[in-house]
């Protein structure tokens, strides 16, 4: 992190402020740009801002340490609204905290690791879409919980457990390869068989062809691959798959398509009951789940889930 131009190294090294000293000299006052290099001004140039040679040498050592991190000469909103402000500091601080933009916040470790696993960056707009839109598509706390756990990489993997306990193997419980987070959820040979089956069934259900991307199945980042009117059912379907994987987390077994259909049917029932409680029109529920109903009738007409689904309409 760069050192802000408005910070005061003199304040950092001082024991106390003199009674006659009104303010602390900042780096903006103490430094100069010479031959495209930021340097500390000599003693004579800044002697009115410091007490003696001893403090100057302290200041020089502080400057050498901060120089390794670098300096930010841009005027930030914090500096313009608060540091340089002479009036109403408390109210301005309150408004600044309310209006603080998310894009200026430091990127979390989990966000970086997801980008590394996918092999490409995830834009801040995509992350905000996950937080604001995908989070609100359902009222089911089980689904929301899974979204949060996936985004923050909550699940304990063999690799992570091996770092915590000496006698625990770092190998995958299913295939024996290195059990990293991404491996356990996506690249494991056994789990890939399950995701291939889910991908094939979803293409049949949604009646569209799209690429099998890990960011779509693991985080719900669909972008332009899935039509807007089909995104909700896609998010329900992929969450059902993830919840089933988590239920067999320490097992060498993988869920079946039958398990997935049953879980998705449960989500449809929960959504239907939620709509009834809210006294909402059935039309929205029917239009959202119509493709799933047709899928059940065409492929799995022998299942009781078709009858259960019909009762909700």
pLDDT in tens, 214-257: 999 999 998 767 888 888 899 999 999 999 999 999 999 999 99
Domain ranges of the chain: 3-100, 112-311
Query: What confidence tier does 102 reach under pLDDT thresholds 50, 70, 90?
Result: very low
Confidence of residue 2 (pLDDT cuts 50, 70, 90): low
d(CA 223, CA 216): 9
Residues 6 or more apart whose CB falls under 8 angstroms from that of 144 comprise 135, 138
Q: In terms of pLDDT, which residue wins out, 182 or 19?
A: 182
At residue 262, the pLDDT reads 93
**H/E/C letters for each residue in 49-114?**
CCCCHHHHHHHHHHHHHHHCCCEECCCCHHHHHHHCCCCCHHHHHHHHHHHCCHHHCCCCHHHHHH
Between CA 202 and CA 212, with CA 207 as vertex, the angle to 5 degrees is 45
Q: Which has the higher per-residue pLDDT, 86 or 72?
A: 72
> Which residues make beta-bridge pairs with 39?
32
The pLDDT of residue 6 is 58
Q: How many residues are listed for the chain in this entry?
A: 313
As a whole number of angstroms, the distance between CA 138 and CA 148 comes to 13
36: left (phi over 0), alpha (psi -120 to 50) or beta: left
**Higher model confidence: residue 142 or residue 280?**
142
- β pairing state of 71-72 and 37-40: unpaired
Does 7 have pLDDT greater than 70?
Answer: no
Q: How far apart are the first and last CA of the chain?
A: 56
Quick: pLDDT tens for 195-226. Answer: 999 999 999 999 999 999 999 999 999 876 78
pLDDT digits (tens, 9 = 90+) for 28-55: 888 888 888 888 888 888 888 887 888 8
Mean pLDDT of the chain: 81
Single pTM value for the model = 0.64
């Amino acid at each position: 992190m760069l050192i802000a131009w408005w910070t005061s190294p003199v304040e950092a090294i001082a024991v106390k402020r003199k009674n006659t000293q009104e303010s602390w000299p900042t780096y903006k006052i103490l430094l100069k740009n010479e031959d495209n290099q930021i340097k500390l001004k000599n003693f004579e140039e800044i002697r009115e801002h410091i007490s003696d040679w001893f403090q100057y040498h302290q200041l020089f050592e502080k400057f050498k340490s901060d120089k390794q991190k670098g300096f930010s000469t841009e005027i930030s909103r914090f500096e313009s609204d608060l540091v340089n402000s002479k009036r109403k500091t408390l109210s301005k601080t309150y408004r600044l905290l309310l209006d603080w933009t998310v894009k200026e916040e430091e990127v979390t470790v989990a966000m970086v690791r997801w980008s590394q696993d996918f092999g490409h960056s995830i834009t801040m707009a995509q992350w905000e879409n996950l937080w604001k839109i995908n989070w609100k598509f359902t009222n089911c706390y089980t689904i929301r919980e899974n979204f949060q756990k996936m985004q923050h990489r909550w699940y304990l993997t063999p690799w992570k457990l091996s770092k915590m306990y000496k006698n625990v193997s770092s190998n995958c419980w299913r295939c024996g390869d290195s059990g990293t987070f991404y491996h356990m959820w996506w690249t494991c040979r056994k789990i890939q068989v399950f995701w291939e089956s889910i991908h094939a069934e979803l293409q049949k259900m949604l009646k569209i062809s799209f690429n099998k991307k890990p960011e779509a199945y693991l985080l719900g980042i669909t972008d332009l691959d899935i039509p807007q009117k089909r995104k909700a059912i896609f998010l329900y379907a992929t969450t059902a798959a993830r919840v089933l994987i988590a239920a067999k987390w320490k097992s060498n077994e993988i869920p079946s398509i039958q398990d997935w259909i049953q879980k998705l049917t449960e989500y449809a029932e929960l959504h239907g009951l939620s709509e009834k409680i809210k006294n909402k029109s059935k039309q929205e529920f029917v239009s959202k789940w119509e493709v799933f109903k047709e899928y059940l009738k065409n492929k799995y007409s022998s299942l009781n889930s078709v009858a259960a689904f019909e009762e909700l309409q």
